[in-house]
Amino acid sequence: MIAPSILSADFARLAEATESVRGADWLHVDVMDGHFVPNLTIGLPVVEALLATTDIPLDCHLMIDDPDRWAVGYAEAGAYNVTVHVEAAEDPVRIAKDLRSAGAKAGLSVKPDTPLEPYVELLGHYDTLLVMSVEPGFGGQEFIPDVLDKVRLARDHELKVLIEIDGGINLDTIEQAAEAGVDCFVAGSAVYGADDPAKAVERLRARAAREEPRES
């Protein structure tokens, strides 16, 4: 699965940006509040506008303080998958229940320096595990390969979650992430920095499936 991140799109043309990646599995939406991470992006009103313009399922990644209060609003608006950070959640089990009750899939994310082992039991309440492969807050960062150990750990525990990875995913890094066991790949500049974003999505999908050879 490929989830283009609109963090790398032109915010003045978001409707066009969503249309340009038709065929993507999910559309990744980074919500940042300027507190949990040192950046400020978009919030619920923009997500609601996006929901009205595309039928691509929205994958809302909430990099915000107090997700216990705010996360369910994204589910109620119609987001397909809503992910909160374990570092910010006060009651992650309750959040998962609330998100599911509101009709969304529930996702839990961990920063690169956050170990996964203490939260393995929590993942039984969640549908998605989002492993951050860069420090959250800004796009265009370099992939951190060490985080793939968390993916392998989740696979070793045979957790029934979809494993997603976010940060530095491109044609060079997607293969090693796929080999580690990732199911869904968030890609920003690798998609929206391409001349044809839709073709970029398909190339990433093929590379993850090892169907596209590397260029010599």
166 is an active site residue:
yes
Q: CA gyration radius for the chain?
A: 16
What is the total residue count of the chain?
216
Nearest-angstrom CA–CA distance, 97 and 44: 20
DSSP H or E run through 70: helix 67-77
Three-state DSSP class for residue 169: coil
Choose, from 10, 25, 30, 127, the residue flagged as catalytic.
30
Q: List, edge to edge, every strand of the sheet that includes 27-32.
A: 2-4, 184-187, 162-166, 128-132, 105-110, 81-85, 58-63, 27-32
66 is an active site residue:
no
Query: Which residue numbers are catalytic?
Result: 30, 166
